[in-house]
Structure 1
């Protein structure tokens, strides 16, 4: 069984520039057999009843399907924004990288713009940015959420503080990312107002 952290870290290179927040919102993992069954059903749509044994494809057909996924996503210069905004009924699929426990059996599928999820972090509350004693935790979490990474060392340089890494990141991140971070802070301020 895979998990979202492994899915994110071992996402295909087509999604290398996506942050964890957007990955959770825009991407899900599906079984390759889902695609294979659909292909088998399309090829034999004259038959009314299909069971799993009848939908099995020859090994060479499975290899062809895997090649199509790689070829469809082979251009690493394609922006992930254009992939996300696509209204096409057939959603883009991206292979998992080697090392993922389900690389042979699963793919990543980009959700339709109408089917996006709102990430809901679990665990301790999101730190506030206006409290100096927890500001380093805030910086670390915002980098984890919004800076693309595969390994923890991608989040900051060796010897760099979380605050400095965040300061550099905030200078280059998009307005949309800044708005998401501002919305998180506004939630804290709303709670403060409610409690007064």
Structure 2
């Protein structure tokens, strides 16, 4: 990305921003000693403010966790494999459909594998049979938005029932009518279930995490959904579990005097659970970190998503069995959060603060990128409107588009509107560009000592 030319290095006393002297638009900030030692490309920046720190942390985290191949690259490679497979000359008509399918899958896999970039650490890990990834924690997925929609639907039904009762008495209070503005947007996030068997193997029921949490044991009544997903998992009951639960229901110590490691705690479901007699809850040996699938929790300072924000926090961090535990019929979600926030534990508040911190890191990263692009403008220091990232306030709160796609679109626009304009104006060849770069580096005067001879 071309940078703005700066004749003299300056420091802005108000913002603390350091503008290093630059004699060529394609030279990054560098440190002569580090670049001489590493002998590689670099772009160094002094981290002066908290916003720069958050932008840097988010950028590094996002960079090291990115996938090696994007979706559009993957689909392009698969399409190439299919086209090549169709044009194979030695393929005979006598091959069965299974054999043709096997060859197609194998060709697609080989094409994708050949385009993967593998580091030395990955290769060594494969050779030592250590797996293809490493994490410091264990994770468990949670479709939060589906549980929110279930609660919202229950609340809407209670409000409709109340309005009908008022209408039967010719009393309609418009202040108690809450229109769900996001009903149309939530249609694509309907609650999904798994089909599992019951005690009778010929009977099947629909279950999911929400059902498991809603009909958890009475002993776990004060645990919130976040801690529930983090601490417990459901599994099929066996004879040992039945014996454990029978002892737990008496005054006798369920663990008793026994050798070895004590068993993980187990809890039955309530009778209303469709699998109460065949499944139970077991505590993880190591706590898991819930990963939210679907639309993420929005910022708390956005006016247009305060209801969604409040509903998400209540669903995750306040214990409940029905929507009445979280929000009254004549109450909105924002007021419900204010009246029930004392039920949220200190650990949960730390998680909520980290969620907001993540949003701030994203915002600072986008602002930093925008500032870099602004500095790269060559005419009147103005930025092309096409390069501006759309405001999050203008988006639908259920838009699940990744921020990475925004940056790809922004950088694509940058290449189209900035780089091409610069290249078309200069009309330089690659050789001339290299010569100008070398000349600019020499003019800086930082590497004059590399041409001097030392005698010992």
TM-score for both structures, normalised by structure 1: 0.72
Q: 1:102 aligns with which of 245, 257, 275?
A: 275
Alignment of 1:192 onto 2:192: no
Match of 1:167 in 2: 338
Contact 1:69 1:94 in 2 (8 A): no
Give the direction of change, closer, same or farther, for the CA distance of 1:125–1:65 in structure 2 (3 Å limit). closer
Alignment of 1:17 onto 2:188: no
- Higher Rg: 2
Please list, as runs of the form range in 1=range in 2, the aligned pairs for 1:60-139 lying within 5 A after superposition: 64-71=243-250, 89-112=262-285, 115-139=286-310
Aligned counterparts of 1:72 and 1:186: Cα–Cα separation in 2: 47
Aligned counterparts of 1:148 and 1:172: Cα–Cα separation in 2: 8
Q: Root-mean-square deviation (CA), in Å? A: 2.2
Shift of the alpha carbon at 1:102? 1.1
Shift of the alpha carbon at 1:136? 1.1
Shift of the alpha carbon at 1:153? 1.8
Give the direction of change, closer, same or farther, for the CA distance of 1:72–1:177 in structure 2 (3 Å limit). farther
Match of 1:3 in 2: 208
Q: 1:179 aligns with which of 350, 361, 364?
A: 350
Contact 2:231 2:287 in 1 (8 A): yes
Give the direction of change, closer, same or farther, for the CA distance of 1:21–1:172 in structure 2 (3 Å limit). closer
Q: Give structure 2 stretches of 5+ with no counterpart.
A: 1-195, 197-206, 253-260, 368-456
Shift of the alpha carbon at 1:97? 0.5
**SS at 2:290 equivalent:** coil
Aligned counterparts of 2:246 and 2:296: Cα–Cα separation in 1: 43
Aligned counterparts of 2:247 and 2:278: Cα–Cα separation in 1: 15
Shift of the alpha carbon at 1:182? 0.7
TM-score for both structures, normalised by structure 2: 0.32
Aligned counterparts of 2:343 and 2:279: Cα–Cα separation in 1: 33
Shift of the alpha carbon at 1:172? 4.3
Give the direction of change, closer, same or farther, for the CA distance of 1:31–1:67 in structure 2 (3 Å limit). same
**SS at 2:356 equivalent:** helix
Aligned counterparts of 1:178 and 1:134: Cα–Cα separation in 2: 19
More displaced 10-residue stretch of structure 1: 94-103 or 164-173: 164-173
Aligned counterparts of 1:116 and 1:26: Cα–Cα separation in 2: 5
CA deviations 1:114-153 (Å, max 9, x no partner) are: x111111111121110101101110010000000001122
CA deviations 1:43-69 (Å, max 9, x no partner) are: xxxxxxxxxxxxxxxxxxx5x554224
**SS at 1:119 equivalent:** strand
**SS at 1:120 equivalent:** strand
**SS at 2:329 equivalent:** coil
Shift of the alpha carbon at 1:70? 3.2
Q: Give structure 1 stretches of 5+ with no counterpart.
A: 40-61, 74-87
